[in-house]
Amino acid sequence: MVSVVETERADAARNRRRLLEAAQELVAEVGANQVTMEAVAAAAQVGKGTVFRRFGDRVGLMVALLDLNERTNQEAFMFGPPPLGPGAPPRERLVAFGEQRMAFAAEHKDVLLAAEACGSRRYEHPARAVLVLHVSALLREAGVEGDVELLTETLLGYLDVALLAHLRETRDLPAERLSAGWADLVRRVLPA
């Protein structure tokens, strides 16, 4: 599991928890697009500078919020029961993984989009590196040949939150169709 591990003073850890709790509440109330660093500071009853020192900017704050939620998902596909977790064939695991990521994208769409506002950061975040490692490992375990690195990125592209939001909201494609499309894609890429 990838997460930021650092030694913190007790007051710094307490401030971080308060800031993230305040940010989560604000996201639930007004949506991620309306959450400002100033609003988070006010809700957590700390100075605005504390928020900026802790997270750098708004994107850093959104990334920290996602990190909390990603841990649960990582545990599920790394250690949970099959078909998502170990014990199922790679093809079944990859189908379950895609379904989990689509559900995660739907649940956390606003925060994901806000966290990905900076193009270069979205591909460099440690949580994404875990996704890349997981998908490429499943492809190799299934015996897929060729450029596994590029195939991994192509598969993860299907699960991109901006694309999924566009397909659902602009093109009105139902979630069931997207899930079926994912399962079809996986079956075509991975041998039986």
CA-only gyration radius of the chain, Å: 18
For the entire predicted model, the pTM comes to: 0.78
Whether the Cβ atoms of residue 56 and residue 30 lie closer than 8 Å to each other? no
* pLDDT tens readout for residues 24-74: 899 889 988 888 999 999 999 888 888 998 989 888 888 888 887 788 889
Q: Domain 57-189: which CATH class?
A: mainly alpha
What residue segments make up the domains of the chain, in order of their start? 57-189
Beta strands in 11-169 (DSSP E): none
End-to-end CA distance of the chain: 29
Q: Distance (Å, rounded) from C-alpha 139 to C-alpha 134?
A: 9
